[in-house]
Structure 1
Amino acid sequence: MGMRRHELSDDEWRIIEPLLPRNSRGVARVDDRRVINGILWRFRTGSSWRDVPERYGPRTTLYNRFSRWRAAGVWDRLLAAVSEAYDGDIVMIDSSCVRVHQHGAAGKKGGSGDPCMGRSRGGLTTKIHALVDAEGRPIRIELTAGQAGDAPVAATLLADIRPGAAVVADKAYDTDGVRAFVQDRGAWPNIPPRSIRKATFSFSRWVYRQRNLVERFFNRIKQMRGIATRYDRRADNFLAAIKLVAARLWVNAL
């Protein structure tokens, strides 16, 4: 049972099952739960698809369904559905780099051709950008190359920000563009100013302390070895896996 404690519980499955596609006859596939458990096993262990235990079914079925559902937007919709009722009073944005394993970089000399793979101090890396709510639950996730700046992704992460919200972020987001974007939407950028700033801004250290929730989110998803290190050659598959893991965090919270 030790290996199976990471599989979807009955309570988790009751939330997830209605959000999955049905076949043409309107009947759910009976093996969806087994397949998702196999997909989660693969990313939890950081193993290759061919090493997933046979109890989860044919490896080709696992990979094909994971990829097909990624292409069809199933993992995107799953995260969007479970995170719909997020607490928007305080939201936090941040990023975290992950190393790209040689398997993920295979065929991509220096990461060329993949905009989400690049050189930084840690070698070949991909950067995960996340927006979380006041409970530290993930709402939106994006990928860039490891050396990319944080501020340019802020507008994408904050596209659906609600008026009156406090946006908590570190100094990497202290740009005129980010501050204007947040304020134009009736929200408050609670961002510490960089030392080169001459202007003064409204800033609450108490609110800023909540930022540890987004750091905790990264720590939680990186407990999955296949997330802490990127083994996937395709950035869209790696992002889909992060969204599946993020959706499961929400399901557990619900």
Structure 2
Amino acid sequence: MGRGDLTNAEWDQLESFLPPGGVRGGRWSDHRRVINGVLYRVRTGVQWRDLPERFGPWETVYKRHRRWSADGTWAVLLSRVQSAEDAAGRIDWHVSVDSAAVRAHQHAAGARNAPPAGVPQRGAGPGTNRVDPASETGRPAGGGGQIGECLGRSRGGFTTKLHLVADGRCRPLALVLTPGHYGDGPQLERVLDQVSVPRTGVGRPRTRPDHVLADKAYTSRKNRRYLRRRGIAHTIPERFDQQRHRRNRGSRGGRPTGFDSERYKKRNTVERAINRLKGFRAVATRYEKRAYIYLGTVTLAALMIWLRT
């Protein structure tokens, strides 16, 4: 077993969740070897053609990762592991929301408008709605392009922004991709709507955190109304210009927003979750042309964080 490969304990957690059979009635190559190959690439960021021979043909490893990114298999595995953790009471539902900009490598540019041949583009796996290229990655229903593939221009060049919700133990609960120049505040509702942890028994998935922590980028009145409507307690500091505007309006400005500075100190959990994700080099730098494949890469990194925390 190489460094970074699945341990026996980690494999035992995943083995029962993996899809049986193969493509068109054929047989899959050994799941564990292929997943270890994908993990090696996600951890090191090497080109697919440079995978060591012990993982088998690089084409097999790449195609498996591309297919499982498209059909939602990685997202299903993540949700199953989260479900087991929730059933054991090991999820801290005081969550934090933030985003991270990811520099896109020059190889990430140049995707054609047409989707790759033979790869399903729609439809998430059972029990999840997280991987849908038309809605989760920002791709419009009829096309591609830079915005469709979540590439935005900034001072540093092409970037992708990763929005996430992290639980109190620094583990990603939900992920959303946007172009790098998109703002954080408008994505709060979208990323919180992706929180969905299935129950192991009877019941609907859990979708509502106990408390949400976020920085000043999320302090819009729309976001606060959304959180109140869902009955989610939150700690978000108010910007100075908003405070001044409220005071200038007098009684029409409304009451000051509550803010617990001690509770707000726990918001560093999402920053630490981002650091863990960027410990995987293929997450810290985006090499994939297609946004749904990069989202699968980030989802696999998040899955390993859950398995190893």
Common fold by TM > 0.5: yes
Shift of 1:59: 0.8
1:14 deviates by 0.6
Q: Look up the equivalent residue of 1:162 and give its one-letter code.
A: R
Go from structure 1 to structure 2 and tell me whether the alpha carbon gap of 1:142 and 1:43 turns closer, same or farther (over 3 Å shift): same
The secondary structure found in structure 2 opposite 1:91 is strand
2:46 aligned counterpart, secondary structure: coil
Equivalent residue in structure 2 for 1:18, among 16, 21, 25 = 16
For the aligned residue pairs, the C-alpha RMSD in angstroms reads 2.1
Aligned-residue offset at 1:125: 0.3
Question: Matches of 1:115 and 1:56 in 2, distance apart?
Answer: 29
Choose which of 112, 119, 135 in structure 1 pairs with 2:169.
135
Which consecutive residues of structure 2, in runs of 5 or more, have no partner in the other structure?
113-144, 196-206, 247-255
Residues 107-118 of structure 1 mapped to structure 2, 5 A cutoff? 107=111, 112=146, 114-118=148-152
Alignment correspondent of 1:174: 219
- In structure 1, distance between residues paired with 2:182 and 2:101: 10
Q: In structure 1, what is the Cα distance between the partners aligned to 2:79 and 2:187? A: 19
Q: Write the mapping of 1:76-91 to structure 2, written as runs, cut at 5 A.
A: 76-84=75-83, 85=86, 87=91, 89-91=93-95
CA distance in 2, matches of 1:114, 1:157: 18
Give 4+ residue runs of structure 1 displaced > 6 Å after superposition: none
Q: Aligned pair 1:74/2:73, yes or no?
A: yes
1:236: which partner in 2? 292
Counterpart CA distance in 2 for 1:96 and 1:251 is 22
Query: Which residue is 1:57 aligned to?
Result: 56
2:140 counterpart of 1:106? no
* Pair 1:156-2:190 in alignment: yes
Matched letter for residue 166 of structure 1:
H
Deviation at 1:113, TM superposition (A): 5.0
Length-normalised TM-score, structure 1: 0.91
Report SS of the residue matched to 1:71: helix
Shift of 1:89: 3.3
Contact 1:100 1:229 in 2 (8 A): yes
Cα shift at 1:223: 1.2
What is the deviation of 1:88?
5.2
Deviation at 1:126, TM superposition (A): 0.3
Give how far 1:115 is off. 4.3
Q: Does 1:206 align with 2:262?
A: yes
Deviation at 1:47, TM superposition (A): 1.1
Amino acid at match of 2:188: A
AA matched with 1:245: A
Distance in 1 separating the partners of 2:31 and 2:38 = 10
Largest Rg, 1 or 2: 2
C-alpha separation between the residues in 2 aligned to 1:115 and 1:107? Answer: 8
Distance 1:88 1:213 in 2: 11
- Contact (CA 8 Å) 2:68, 2:296: kept in 1 or not? no
Structure 2 SS opposite 1:128: strand
How many residues are paired up? 247
> Which residue is equivalent to 1:185?
230
Do the aligned residues in 2 keep the contact of 1:83 with 1:138 (CA within 8 Å)?
no
Cα distance in 2 for partners of 1:182, 1:81 equals 26
Structure 1 residue 121: deviation in Å? Answer: 2.5
Percent of counterpart pairs with the same letter?
43
CA contact (8 A) 2:74 2:296 kept: yes
Q: Deviation at 1:81? A: 1.3
* TM-score, length of structure 2 as denominator length: 0.75
Q: Match of 1:97, as an amino acid? A: A
